[in-house]
Every structure is written in structure tokens, then in C-alpha cells.
Amino acid sequence: MDGPVGRNSSRIAAFAARWAAVGVPAVFLAAFFVYPVTAILWRGLAEEGLGPMSDLFASPRTRGVVWFTVWQALASTVITLVVALPAAALVSRLRGRRRHLIRGLVTVPFVLPTVVVAGAFEGVFFRLGLDQGDLRLRHTVWAILLAHVFFNYAVVVRIVGSFWSGLDHHLEEQARVLGAGPLRTFWAVTLPRLRPAIASACAIVFLFSFTSFGVVLLLGGPRRATLETEIYRQAVTRGDIRSAAALALLQLLAVLALIAAATRLERRSPAPTGVAHRPPKPMRREFAWANLAVMTVLLGSPTAILVERSLAVGDGYGFDHYRALTERVPQLPASAATALSTSLVFATAAAAMALTVGALTAFVVVHGRLSLRRIFDLGLTLPLGTSAVTIGFGILIALDEPPLDLRTSWWIIPIAHALVGTPFVVRTMVPVLRRIDPQIREAAAVLGASPGRVRRLIDLPIAGRGMLVGAGFAFAVSLGEFGATSFLPRRPETLTAPLALFRLLSTPGELLRGQAMALAVVLMGIVALSVVAIEAARGTGQDFL
């Protein structure tokens, strides 16, 4: 047993560890989130009061932007739900490897960089001749909605699918025995019980569509603007920082209101049980195949056409566009290949930072003092909801003067990416830590493990997979990050792959489009690989969404 001296020094160590766990995330958040957001508030409100702001909001352009932001998000949500619900049904009835495979494949679009998706749909429109004429989809609302469905399909499939498979299907069997047909049973017995999952999936899809940036910027064309792209237009294209700040403020308030509503919704509904019941009868074969057909057309064809376009050279096929990636083009400050390697380095640094901050936060959220738990939980939900554009814009206007001048620092980009990625680490780790039975920790304590050893020998190994999954997400997010990065200072050595892709895509001309497609394919490949790694590390039973 420890002597008085030993016990004292171990107490000091425990005290230091506790403060590091609280201090590191707190400082990180304060410097790179709270301070920038406050700076937006300051620019938007303080200097000239509410006058210019109310002028801005009274202008027809702003009203049009707000209206379009809301209705396209609403439309995206409804369409996604209708299209993806049958697939959720399919996933809920699959077990084992098949379920894993389908869930994994469906998730790939969700994590694809927005610019890659925009590039893929551009490719589709050109390939199928939908870029002009009567059936023009390019630069229409339909292009935006299509891309949003493509992205968010996985959200509905994963959230509703998992919840669905946790439901006791004996109720459906009971209803069938009592004389209800299959549709009636779905409507009267299944759907009401799915409501909490559907509500939370819809809330997330709506939030993502509401804050969608790259898709709107590239696919919507120059005339369509949401709040996000309007902030970008004001700040970057027109250089009107004050109007951008006012819009960012509006965006921030809207997102906070949405998150608050979603959280209330979640609280009122029971959590999914997660209990694996005996699998229900498999789905009718035709229905399953119809489902797979929809998935293939909706999710598969854009990626397939993207690959095809990247290989098309003149009338034949070849790797010319890929070879061109290493060459400098006048439109880019560095070659696409250099941008790719820059992105990989940034993603590694961002993932490491996000993992450190996120893991410490998750420990505090689960095992910290009650008051701290609430603050940390909220403090890290906010960046997840806050749009990347707001984060990038905040960093742009806040960190350009002492005490924190990071404008010329290489670190500013990985820090912004880490901020976007940290909530993913927290979100994956918190449920894993919560699921560790307190009695397991007590058993270890009684067997002689000190609180520190319980953390190291029980929590850490059990949550280790969750940490890897979270870090993998942060890595993938950083690789594809476009919204925040597009605000940050540009220099040849900080050109990221998504930014390079955006430049290539927005330059007219056949030659650069081919190179853009090749770059998109490479970026997609890397992100898809990290998702496969995540799915492998995740094992069974753990869900981020």
C-alpha cells in the first residue's frame, strides 16, 4: 500500500491529469471557436448597432436567400426520407456481413467531399447531355436537391435502419395475426414506433441541407444562393465583411434554434433499445432487389460516371488526366498532386488534434463533474452544428491580429479542420464510454486498480476502437473540408485538394474538366479507403449515427 508520500504524489498526478483533461479542450475551444464566433458578433453588431443589419435583412435579396435556404432544405429532407426509407427497411432486416456491406457502401457518399460530389454530378450532367436544353439539370434547384439526397441517403438508412432492427417485430407479427395487411401493419404498427428515429434523421438531414455550401456553390450556379454561399459571396467575392458577419450571425441563430429543437425532440423520444431481437422474416425478394437497384442508380451511377469521365480522352480512354495532375496549370498555384499531399498532411495533423481534444472531452462528458459535463457536451455540440463556413469566416476575421495572429501560419488550416472534426470524435467516443458497464469499472477497482489504472486498463482499451473510428472520421472530414478552408488565406503551400478541385471545376474548358474528374476520383478513393478502415475498426454494434 502507498505510504503517505506515495499517496501524496499520486494525488498531485491525478489532480494534474484532471486539469489537463478539462483544460486542453477548454483552451482549444475558447481560442478557436468561442473567440472567432464572438468576433463575428462584434463585427456584425457592435460597431454600428442594429441599423445596417436591419437594412440588410430588409433587402429583397436577403429575404430571397433565406427563403431559398429554408425551402431547399425542407425539400431535400422530404425527398431523402421518401427515397431512403425502403433501404432502411432492408438494412433493418439484414444481419452480419451483408448488413455491414450495405451500410458501408451507403455511407461512402455521406463522407465524400462536397466538391467531389459536385464534380461527379457535373460529370453526369455532361455525360447525359443534361447540361443544357429542355432537360437541363445543371445549375438548377434539381441539381442541388439530387446531390443532397445522394449525400443524406446514408443518414436515414443508418439512423432509421439501426433503430428499426432494435424494434421487437413480434408486434408486427401480432398485428398480422389480428388481420392487418402488410401495408396497414407498416402504417399502424411500425411507422408510429419509428417516429423518434425518423424525427432525428430528418433533423440531421435538414441541418446538413440548410448549411450545405460546396454543393450549392458549384451545382446551383451563380444565381442560386443560400445563407452559406451568400456569406462567402459577401466576405470573399465582395469583401464586405460587415454584411457577411451579419449574415453569419443570422445563420448561427438559425442553426442554434434548429439544434435546440432537435435536442428537445430527441429528449422526448425513447432512445433505441439496441437490443438485437431474433431477425424478422427476410424481405420479399423483389422488394430487396428494387432497393438495391435504387441504390445502384442513385449512389452508384454518379461515381461510375465520374470514373468514366476521368478516363475519357478525346474519343478513347487513357490515363492522360491522371498524369496531368502532377503538372502545374496556370489556374492553380501548385500542382494538383502537391495539393493532394498537402491535404494528407493536414488531415493527419487535424485528426491528431481532434483525437486529443475529442478524447479528453469525451472523458469529461462521461466521467466528469455534472456541471462540467453539461458545459462540455454543449460546447462540443455547437461546432458540429455551426456551419464550416461560419467557423472559417470566424477564424478569418478573428485570428488575423494579436494576440492570435495565425494568418501566415501553416497551422491555421489543420486547426480549422480539427475544429470541424472534433465533434465527430466526441460523438463516437461518448456512447462507447457510456456503454462501459459501471460495474466493470467497479470490479476492476475492487481487484486493486486505482482510478487512473481503471481509466488506462479498462476505459481506454474498450473505447480504443471508438477513438480510432472518431479519428478516422476526423481524417476523412479534413480531407474533404471545403467550407472553412475556402475562407482561409491561400498560398501555394496551403492549397488543399478540395480547393484545387473547386478551382478546376469552376474554370470553363474541356481539358481542365478532365483533370478535375481525375483529381476527384483520387480524392474519392482516399476517402473511401479511410471509410472502409473505419468500418473495419468499428466492428459490429457501434454506431456513429
Partner 1 sequence: MSWELESVSVRFGDLLAVDNASLSISEGELVVILGPSGCGKSTMLRVVAGLQQPDSGRVLIDGADAVALLPHQRSIGLMFQQHTLFPHHDVAGNVEFGLRMAGVAPAQRAQRVRDLLVLVGLGGFESRDVATLSGGEAQRVALARSLAPNPALLLLDEPFGSLDRGLRDRLTDELPQVLAEAGTTAIHVTHDHDEAFSLADRLVVMEAGRILRIGPPGEVWADPGTVPVAEFMGHHNIVTRGSRLEVIRRDAATVAADGELEGVVTASRFRGDHHDLTLDTALGELRFRVGEAARVGERVRLRIDPSRVALLNPVS
Residues binding partner 1 (CB under 8 A): 1, 437, 439-440, 442-451, 453, 457-458, 461-462
Q: Give least dist CB 454 to partner 1, A.
A: 8
Nine cell digits for residue 486: 475556402
When the beta carbons of 329 and 449 are compared against partner 1, the nearer one is 449
Q: Give least dist CB 464 to partner 1, A.
A: 8
Q: Are the C-beta atoms of 362 and 433 separated by less than 8 Å?
A: yes
Q: Are the C-beta atoms of 235 and 155 separated by less than 8 Å?
A: no
When the beta carbons of 171 and 457 are compared against partner 1, the nearer one is 457
Q: Are the C-beta atoms of 421 and 458 separated by less than 8 Å?
A: no
**Smallest Cα–Cα separation from 203: which of 257, 249, 252?**
257
- Angle, alpha carbons 364-369-373 (nearest 5°): 50
Q: Give least dist CB 455 to partner 1, A.
A: 13
When the beta carbons of 266 and 442 are compared against partner 1, the nearer one is 442
- Angle, alpha carbons 474-206-111 (nearest 5°): 30
Burial of 381 (0-12, 13-18, 19+ CB in 10 A): middle
Q: Are the C-beta atoms of 433 and 459 separated by less than 8 Å?
A: yes
DSSP reduced 3-state for 521 = helix
Beta strand ranges found along 132-267 (DSSP E):
none
When the beta carbons of 184 and 369 are compared against partner 1, the nearer one is 369
Straight-line distance from the first to the last Cα atom of the chain, in angstroms, rounded to the nearest whole number:
45
Q: Give least dist CB 461 to partner 1, A.
A: 4
Nine cell digits for residue 322: 491522371
Q: Give least dist CB 428 to partner 1, A.
A: 17
**Smallest Cα–Cα separation from 406: which of 492, 498, 488?**
488
Q: Give least dist CB 436 to partner 1, A.
A: 9
Q: Which residues contact 401 (CB under 8 A, 6 or more apart)?
A: none
CA distance 320 to 65: 41
When the beta carbons of 86 and 451 are compared against partner 1, the nearer one is 451
When the beta carbons of 4 and 179 are compared against partner 1, the nearer one is 4
When the beta carbons of 270 and 438 are compared against partner 1, the nearer one is 438
Looking at residue 400, what DSSP letter applies? Answer: E
Q: Are the C-beta atoms of 232 and 213 separated by less than 8 Å?
A: yes
CA distance 117 to 523: 11
Q: Give least dist CB 161 to partner 1, A.
A: 24
When the beta carbons of 329 and 462 are compared against partner 1, the nearer one is 462
Q: Give least dist CB 465 to partner 1, A.
A: 9
Q: Give least dist CB 175 to partner 1, A.
A: 32
